[in-house]
């Protein structure tokens, strides 16, 4: 219980420091009505509220029998997920959103028990659909990378 409260206090302090760093941020151009600092401040505020709850809650969080144990296999999956996300971050600009999402999505689906063909089809459709949702519906430009020749 004490370790959980110490963790919450340290993370709450980190959130406060990050909020102080994000508060004065002003972009030279405005691409959204509330400005670029609203999203990080909102996320840090929500994290802060949750951490305050963790700090003062009456009972500790206990491990239930339904949760998977933190054994070697689970840690390998977590490590593989982190590695895949790092590869996604590295390939996002050069390959573009669609190709990097497919490149990372299929191994991620396989990591959690998906079959090859359904994983490839669903991830491909989701990547294209999410690209269209962001680019057309929400007007948030995402990089096309190697597929840049398809744009106008």
The DSSP string of 68-85 is PP--HHHHHHHHHHHHHH
Of residues 107 and 144, more confidence is placed in 107
Q: Count other Cβ atoms within 10 Å, centred on residue 41.
A: 16
pLDDT of res. 68: 67
pLDDT of res. 75: 85
Helix H or strand E encompassing 128: helix 116-132
User: Do 45 and 86 sit in the same domain of this protein?
Assistant: no
Of residues 61 and 89, more confidence is placed in 89
If pLDDT is split at 50, 70 and 90, which confidence band does 29 have? Answer: low
User: Do 47 and 78 sit in the same domain of this protein?
Assistant: no
Average pLDDT of every residue of the chain: 84
Specify if 88 maps to a domain.
Answer: yes
* Structural domain boundaries, residue 125: 72-150
User: Do 80 and 132 sit in the same domain of this protein?
Assistant: yes
Q: Does 122 have pLDDT greater than 90? A: yes
User: DSSP letter string over 35-80?
Assistant: -TTHHHHHHHHHHHHHHHHHHH-SS-----TTSPP--HHHHHHHHH
Residues comprising the chain, all counted: 152
Number of domains in the chain: 2
pLDDT of res. 101: 93
pLDDT of res. 86: 94
Of residues 135 and 33, more confidence is placed in 135
Of residues 37 and 81, more confidence is placed in 81
Q: Which residue has the tokens 């020749």?
A: 149
User: Do 138 and 89 sit in the same domain of this protein?
Assistant: yes
Interval 68-104: pLDDT, tens: 667 888 888 889 999 999 999 999 889 989 999 999 9
If you average pLDDT over residues 141-150, what whole number do you get?
Answer: 78
User: Do 40 and 89 sit in the same domain of this protein?
Assistant: no
């Amino acid at each position: 219980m004490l370790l959980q409260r110490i963790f919450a206090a340290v993370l709450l302090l980190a959130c406060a420091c990050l909020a102080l760093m994000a508060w004065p941020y002003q972009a030279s151009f405005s691409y959204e009505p509330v400005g670029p600092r609203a999203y990080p401040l909102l996320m840090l505020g929500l994290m802060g509220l949750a951490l305050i709850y963790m700090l003062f809650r009456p009972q500790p969080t206990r491990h239930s029998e339904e949760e998977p144990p933190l054994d070697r296999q689970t840690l390998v999956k977590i490590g593989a997920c982190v590695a895949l996300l790092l590869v996604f971050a590295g390939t996002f600009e050069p390959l573009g959103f669609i190709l990097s999402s497919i490149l990372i999505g299929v191994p991620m689906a396989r990591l959690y028990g998906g079959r090859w063909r359904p994983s490839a089809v669903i991830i491909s459709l989701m990547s294209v659909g999410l690209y269209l949702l962001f680019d057309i519906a929400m007007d948030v430009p995402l990089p096309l990378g190697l597929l840049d020749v398809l744009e106008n």
